[in-house]
């Protein structure tokens, strides 16, 4: 998974040809650490169909504020530069795949 910043967000997420799932995360967040391996599995499984990137909200406040992200982890799916779905909190892989079905 790629880590994006305020500076690289537009190029890596908004301009991506593939749909992008952004993991708004923080190092101090236990649920963020719980979902990290799930996201790595999903990234491998859906390679070529969906990109997954992480954004550390503590170091990238502009992007966090721009998308009104208040809780971590927040997973936001972007397609063609637009947010199409937002999910808050950790979840098992099966549930995440169900929630993303048909959106990428």
Active-site choice (32, 52, 57, 100): 32
In the prediction, which pLDDT does 16 show?
97
101 pLDDT above the threshold of 90: yes
Active-site choice (1, 18, 26, 29): 29
Is there a domain that residue 104 lies in? no
Q: Is the pTM of this model over 0.85?
A: yes
Please confirm, yes or no, whether 39 is among the known catalytic residues: no
Label residue 86 by pLDDT band (50, 70, 90). very high
Cα-based angle 9, 11, 5 (whole degrees, multiple of 5): 25
Return the CATH number at 43: 3.40.30.10
Packed helices 93-100 and 30-45: angle between N→C axes, nearest 10 degrees: 60
Label residue 104 by pLDDT band (50, 70, 90). confident
Domain that holds residue 91: 2-99
Q: List, for residues 24-62, the tens digit of each pLDDT value.
A: 999 999 999 999 999 999 999 999 999 999 999 999 999
Please confirm, yes or no, whether 29 is among the known catalytic residues: yes
Domain count, the chain: 1
């Amino acid at each position: 998974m790629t880590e994006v910043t305020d500076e690289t967000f537009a190029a890596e997420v908004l301009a991506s040809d593939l749909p992008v799932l952004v993991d708004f995360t923080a190092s101090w967040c236990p649920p963020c650490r719980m979902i990290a391996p799930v996201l790595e599995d999903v990234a491998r499984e859906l390679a070529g169909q969906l990109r997954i990137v992480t954004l550390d909200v503590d170091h990238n406040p502009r992007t966090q504020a721009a998308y009104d992200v208040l809780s971590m982890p927040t997973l936001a799916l972007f397609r063609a530069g637009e947010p199409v779905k937002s999910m808050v909190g950790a979840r098992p892989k099966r549930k995440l795949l169900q929630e993303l079905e048909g959106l990428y």
